[in-house]
C-alpha cells in the first residue's frame, strides 16, 4: 500500500493530471468552436430543450466525461520516467486512466491552492480568462 501512495502522490502524477486536463480542455474548445451546435443550450431543463441534437446530448453526457480517461490512456504509451517511473505499459495505462478520471479535481485543487498562496481571488473553475467587466 505504501508503494501505491508513493506512486499516486509523486510530482509526475500531478503533472500528468494537469496535462490531461489541459489537453482535454483544449480539445473541447477546438471541437465546440468548430461545431457550436454541440454546446449545451441551457441548464436545468429537460434533455430535449437542453441539447439541440442527439449528437450534442452524446457529446455533453458521454464524450466529455470519457475524454480525460481516453487522454490518460494515450499518455500511457509515452514512456516517461518522470510521469510513470519504471512501470510496465499496462500499469502505466491503469495509472493514467485513473489519473485522467480525477484530473479535473486535481486541477481545481492545485488551482485553489496556488490562488490562495498568491493571495488572489479564485475566478472560477475555468481556464478561460475572465472578462474585465466580470471581475469583482
Contacts of 75 (CB under 8 A, 6+ apart): 16, 19, 20, 83, 96, 100
- Whether 86 maps to a domain, the answer reads yes
The 8-class DSSP code of residue 1 comes to: -
**Most confident by average pLDDT, 39-43, 49-53, 111-115:** 111-115
Q: What is the pTM of this model?
A: 0.71
**What grid cell was written down for 58?**
452524446
What pLDDT sits at residue 42? 67
Rounded to whole angstroms, the Cα distance separating 89 from 33 reads 34
Range with lowest mean pLDDT among 17-26, 51-60, 70-79: 51-60
Contacts of 24 (CB under 8 A, 6+ apart): 67, 68, 71, 103
Rounded to whole angstroms, the Cα distance separating 98 from 94 reads 6
Report how many domains make up the chain.
Answer: 1
- Whether 134 maps to a domain, the answer reads no
pLDDT digits (tens, 9 = 90+) for 89-105: 888 899 899 988 888 88
Judged against a pLDDT cut of 80, whether residue 77 lies above it is answered with: yes
| Average pLDDT across the chain, whole number | 81
- Whether 133 maps to a domain, the answer reads no
- Whether 120 maps to a domain, the answer reads yes
Residue numbers of the domain that contains 18: 2-124
Sole residue written with cell 472560477: 124
**What grid cell was written down for 69?**
480517461
- Whether 80 maps to a domain, the answer reads yes
- Whether 131 maps to a domain, the answer reads no
Distance of CA 68 to the CA centre of its chain: 6
Q: What would the mean pLDDT of 30-47 be, rounded to a whole number?
A: 79
Amino acid at each position: 500500500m505504501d508503494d501505491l501512495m508513493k506512486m499516486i502522490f509523486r510530482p509526475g502524477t500531478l503533472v500528468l493530471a494537469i496535462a490531461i486536463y489541459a489537453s482535454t480542455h483544449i480539445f473541447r474548445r477546438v471541437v465546440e468552436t468548430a461545431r457550436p451546435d454541440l454546446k449545451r443550450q441551457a441548464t436545468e431543463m429537460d434533455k430535449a430543450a437542453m441539447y439541440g441534437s442527439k449528437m450534442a446530448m452524446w457529446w455533453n453526457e458521454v464524450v466529455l466525461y470519457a475524454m480525460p480517461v481516453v487522454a490518460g490512456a494515450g499518455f500511457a504509451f509515452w514512456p516517461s520516467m518522470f510521469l510513470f517511473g519504471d512501470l510496465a505499459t499496462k500499469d502505466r495505462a491503469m495509472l493514467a486512466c485513473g489519473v485522467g478520471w480525477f484530473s479535473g479535481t486535481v486541477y481545481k485543487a492545485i488551482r485553489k491552492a496556488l490562488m490562495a498562496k498568491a493571495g488572489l481571488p479564485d475566478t472560477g473553475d475555468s481556464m478561460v480568462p475572465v472578462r474585465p467587466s466580470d471581475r469583482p
